[in-house]
Amino acid sequence: MDLQSIKNRFGIIGNDPALNYALQVAAQVANTDLSVLIMGESGVGKEIFSQIIHNLSSRKHNPFIAVNCGAIPEGTIDSELFGHEKGSFTSASDQRKGYFETVNGGTIFLDEIGEMPLGTQARLLRMLETGEFIRVGSSKVLKADVRVIAATNKDLLKLTQEGKFREDLYYRLNTVPIRVPALRERLEDIYLLFRKFVIDFSERYKSNPIQLDEEAKQLLVAYPWPGNVRELKNMAEQISVLSTDKIVNAEKLSNFLPKANQGNRMPMLASAMESAPVKSYNASDASSSNTEREILYKLFFDLRKDSNDIKQLLFELLQQQGTGNSMPKTNAPIAAEGFAMPHSYATANNPMPAQENNYVNYPASSGAPVILNNTDGLDLHEEVEESLSLIDKERELITKALQKHKGKRKDAAHELGISERTLYRKIKEYDIDE
Ligand SMILES: Nc1ncnc2c1ncn2[C@@H]1O[C@H](COP(=O)(O)OP(=O)(O)OP(=O)(O)O)[C@@H](O)[C@H]1O
Ligand SMILES: [Mg+2]
């Protein structure tokens, strides 16, 4: 099944390369029995991934169950998962099957796996390794054939270092890691998702969908979305109910975004808002702060576009490099396959042994506006250093592309996956000899 059909079938919106990659891995791994570990911040859509994997697998007609390990009290989780015998603890008046027994032949989704108590982790590891388990209060070994998909928004590797998560279980679960990118790493998808949610809402309530004016769109994209798609969806529904205007401007939109977060990653927008509160969003206001803000916006969006161009370009390069082995074949852990991955996979969440991977090592870029002249109290030291090497890489790639195409900008731009205009600007900017 191709990516677009998967997106249509599961209602997934977005074209970000890292999201596409995650979907591709999910589709490839679906028809195996390998354990999958889905990582990503809260609200990025991890649960949908578990459903995709189950529904594209040969187990699709067998049961699927999602268990939130963080929501079950420590005292009962073993019994919930593996069952118990009568009298095995005070309230155990009957024998009871656990989820692994009831889901036999199907898939179990263990959400918030980082919250699983250590004792339960030991039982789970045994289940994964041998397919065997024991009900609480029993000594009889039972067997079940259950595919395990786990998800976490925590850094599991860090938890292993703190002794809160078993290292052996971590590696066992991590056979196929899938990292679902944060919304702020998928800038192009933010407005697409917003449109989807307001349109869904308007269809449900037979009204006209609200729209955002240009400035509001920019604000929407600049907001860091710590609660990711879930937060965006809630906001889109809230604004659909509460907004009295059908075309919403930035000032109105900002009322629906928590102020504390607006300040975090939107220094330029925040300072613009402070220097010209409320009225600065009035289009007819031609004050100097307004002009300044427009320049800052422009700078911001140019930077964003550049960073996305580079992301796209590197992603394509990585895909080319990975041709032939860009997907796991069978049971071998991906890390041992020289798996080509986009940058966002090489995180602390995903300890890919660097020497095993044939991907270019380059600094992570979230697409955020990291290079600012106006650094008002911001410590940008680290980002600036990282960006420099990204610039070096970019310069090198542009030079190579120009050489390859004998100075033909159109062809070079095409190969680099950027517009001719952007290429022209970069040639000037980096003073590249053609
Ligand atoms: N790409 C997407 N397209 C459309 N809807 C999405 C997308 N990603 C997530 N959603 C929606 O966002 C909401 C949050 O997703 P989900 O519950 O899967 O997040 P999660 O990663 O499991 O979060 P948590 O760690 O808090 O459990 C859901 O309503 C889901 O349908
Ligand atoms: Mg979830």
Alpha-carbon gap, residue 409 to 336, rounded angstroms: 39
Q: Provide the pLDDT for residue 388.
A: 52
Atom of ligand 1 nearest to the CA of 46: 21
Q: Provide the pLDDT for residue 87.
A: 78
Q: Which residues contact 35 (CB under 8 A, 6 or more apart)?
A: 128, 147, 148, 149, 150, 172, 173, 174, 175, 176
Q: How many residues does the chain have?
A: 434
The DSSP output letter for 335 is G
> How far are the Cα atoms of 13, 185, 230, 236 from residue 193, in angstroms, in the given order?
6, 14, 10, 9
Q: Does domain 3-181 sit in CATH 3.40.50.300?
A: yes
Alpha-carbon gap, residue 83 to 230, rounded angstroms: 33
Name the segment(s) of the chain with CATH classification 1.10.8.60.
Answer: 184-275
Minimum CA distance residue for ligand 1 atom 9 = 45
Q: Provide the pLDDT for residue 384.
A: 39
Which listed ligand is nearest to 114 at the C-alpha? 1
Q: Is 50 in the pocket of ligand 1 (CB under 6 A)?
A: no
Name the segment(s) of the chain with CATH classification 3.40.50.300.
Answer: 3-181
Q: What is the residue-level pLDDT of the chain in tens, covering all 434 positions?
A: 799 999 999 999 999 999 999 999 999 999 999 999 999 999 999 999 999 999 999 999 999 999 999 999 998 999 999 999 987 777 777 889 999 999 999 999 999 999 999 999 999 999 999 999 999 999 999 999 999 999 999 999 999 999 999 999 999 999 899 999 999 999 999 999 999 999 999 999 888 999 999 999 999 999 999 999 999 999 999 999 999 889 999 999 999 998 766 655 454 444 434 433 222 222 333 334 444 444 455 555 566 667 767 777 787 777 777 654 443 333 333 332 222 333 333 333 333 333 322 222 223 333 332 222 333 333 333 333 444 566 777 888 888 888 888 888 888 888 887 888 888 888 888 888 87
**Is the separation of the CB atoms in 329 and 27 below 8 Å?**
no
Give strand ranges (E) for 181-320.
211-212, 247-248
Cα 387 to middle of ligand 1, angstroms: 31
Pocket test for ligand 1, best of 19, 229, 232, 237 (most atoms within 8 A of CB): 229
> String of b and e for 404-422 (b: at least 16 CB within 10 Å)?
ebeeebeebbebbbbeeeb
Q: Is 200 in the pocket of ligand 1 (CB under 6 A)?
A: no
Residue 163, token pair as written in the block: 């002794």
Residue 428, token pair as written in the block: 């000037």
Alpha-carbon gap, residue 62 to 107, rounded angstroms: 8
The DSSP output letter for 280 is G
Cα 272 to middle of ligand 1, angstroms: 32
Q: Taking the CA of residue 336 as centre, how many other CA atoms within 13 Å lie in the half-sphere pointing to its CB? A: 8
Q: Provide the pLDDT for residue 283.
A: 33
Q: 165, 138, 281: which is closest to 217 by C-alpha?
A: 281
Concatenating the DSSP letter of every residue in 9-65 gives HHT-----HHHHHHHHHHHHHHTS---EEEE--TTSSHHHHHHHHHHTSTTTTS-EE
**Is the separation of the CB atoms in 187 and 304 below 8 Å?**
yes
Q: Name the architecture of domain 184-275.
A: Orthogonal Bundle (1.10)
Helix or strand holding residue 367 (H, E): none
Alpha-carbon gap, residue 434 to 94, rounded angstroms: 80
